[in-house]
Chain A
Amino acid sequence: MTIPMSSTESRRAEFESAALPHLDDLFRTASAMVGNRTVAEDLVQETYLEAWKSFHRFETGTNCRAWMFKILIHRVHHYRRKWYQWFSKTTSDELLVDNLTYEAPIPEGIEDEELLKALEAIPEMFRVIVLLADVQEFAYKEIASMLEIPVGTVMSRLSRGRKHLREQLLAIAPGFTHPSLPAHRTESRSL
């Protein structure tokens, strides 16, 4: 049902009630996507202004959180359009069963900062999907709608994003060498 045209005040109250609870999650996601808190603040503010401007198109009872994230993704895309083609719709994405090789355990005691650093190091097209799926817990279908890519692409990029993240964590773990190097294939760490 489309929101009835009532007074600006009541629409504002409805908007604030529906949209503002997602401020922290939007900021966290923006911050992790662009790696800069100042830029993230701007993007989140722009997201709210754009959402308010389009609020007449928002249908009460539908997923406001997903709607806000979709706007944020577009703002980030707009911001980075000159630098990353992470919205490019590749058709060659494959879900390769290449994870039966030895997977080294992630060391215990990884700090939050190390995790954020590892996240920042993975390619943007994978990072955004890891954030939306693993942190914000959106369904594949919702993510596909936000990014305007097929569900299959979401699946393959999530799989590869998680793998990238794991590789980054292994790389930053002190004293650990990636197991793909033959000389260290027997090295292991206990959990």
Chain B
Amino acid sequence: MKLIQGTSPCGKYRPLLDSYLSNELLVETTHDVMRHLDGCASCRFELDERMRVRAGLRKAVGSVAAPPELRGRILTALEAPGRAAGMPGPSGKAGWMQVAAGVAVLLFSGLLFEVLVRNPGQFEALLDLAWHQHEGCTVAGHYPAEPPTEAKMRHDLGAHYEALLPVMQTELSDYRIRKAHICRPGGREYAHFILQKGDALVSVSLLKKQDGEALGRPVAPSARQGGQLTAFETGTHVAFVMGNVGAAEAERVAIVIRPGVLAAGL
């Protein structure tokens, strides 16, 4: 760290105020700063301002409370079969692969368990809805022969969903976007993307949740006849990733686009 100091007394002490505020200075330096503060109204005022902002910040962040049910969810997840942790795991590369596979299985089985227990009917209904309304795009390969231009895709997505386009372009750069538009099968509006990589076709669709609709948990995989469906949930939407790809690829697509979808405010 390079410290560029001024020549005035304040120039010497003002840079130390942050560490003084954090109680991170040596005792001798602390005394030096205190002596300076005794005789310098300007630095005292500056310190008071920083303390006031810090106190306000603590109060504001402290006003955010964890949802009451979160503790119960964590305890339930810890109880999941096979989660006898707190013990040394396997070592070496093979061991870590076992650990990774185990974590994935536990995570997704835990998530699915949670989803199915919490709201089995709605969960299945949402996945069925999405699958039946979009399976033709991917399983049957219904998409234009010529890929659309970016301008057309933005136009077809509209102002509310065009922010998703760079998410797909960036995170799924190994795929080519064959269609991006708004569709309304069954009277519900979807922002819909069809992506292609060789023989692999993936459809990503976002459905705005209606009152009370919820998957319950994000990133939920589900095998379907002729393909794979993975869903995740944001505050306002449910996103469906489906295609003629395997479960691992569908999950990967869901996981890599999810941060971007959230960052796009959906």
Contacts and interface: CB of A to CB of B under 8 A. Distances in A.
A and B form one complex? yes
Interface of A: 3, 5, 8, 11-12, 15-16, 20, 23-24, 26-29, 31-32, 34, 36-39, 41-42, 44-45, 48-49, 52-56, 79-80, 82-83, 93-97, 99-100, 103, 105-106, 110, 112-113, 115-116, 119, 130-131, 133-135, 139-140, 150, 152-153, 155-156, 158-159, 162, 165-166, 169
A100 B59 contact: no
A103 B46 contact: yes
28 contacts: A12-B86, A20-B74, A23-B71, A38-B235, A41-B66, A45-B73, A49-B74, A49-B77, A53-B89, A55-B85, A79-B259, A82-B256, A82-B260, A83-B263, A93-B1, A94-B1, A96-B4, A97-B5, A97-B11, A103-B49, A113-B60, A134-B54, A134-B57, A134-B58, A135-B57, A135-B61, A162-B50, A165-B57
Nearest to B171: A82
Interface string B39-58: 00000011001101110111
B126 interface: no
B98 interface: no
Contacts of A96: 4
Given A52-B86, A135-B58, A99 B14 contact: yes
B70 A23 contact: yes
B223 interface: no
A163 B19 CA distance: 14
B16 to A, nearest CB: 10
A45 B57 CA distance: 25
A162 to B, nearest CB: 6
A79 B15 CA distance: 34
B74 A152 contact: no
B24 A139 contact: yes
B53 A162 contact: yes
Given A12-B86, A116-B60, A162-B50, 15 more contacts: A11-B86, A20-B71, A34-B262, A41-B66, A53-B85, A55-B85, A83-B260, A97-B3, A97-B5, A97-B15, A116-B61, A116-B64, A131-B61, A134-B57, A166-B49
B53 A166 contact: yes
A56 B49 contact: no
A40 B249 CA distance: 25
Contacts of B77: 45, 48-49
Contacts of A48: 74, 77-78
Contacts of B106: 49
Contact of A52 (B83, B107, B233): B83
For the complex, would chain A's binding face be called helix, strand, loop or mixed by DSSP majority? helix
Contacts of A55: 85-86
Contacts of B64: 27-28, 31-32, 116
Contact of B85 (A52, A133, A135): A52
A49 B24 CA distance: 33
B2 interface: yes
Nearest to A19: B74
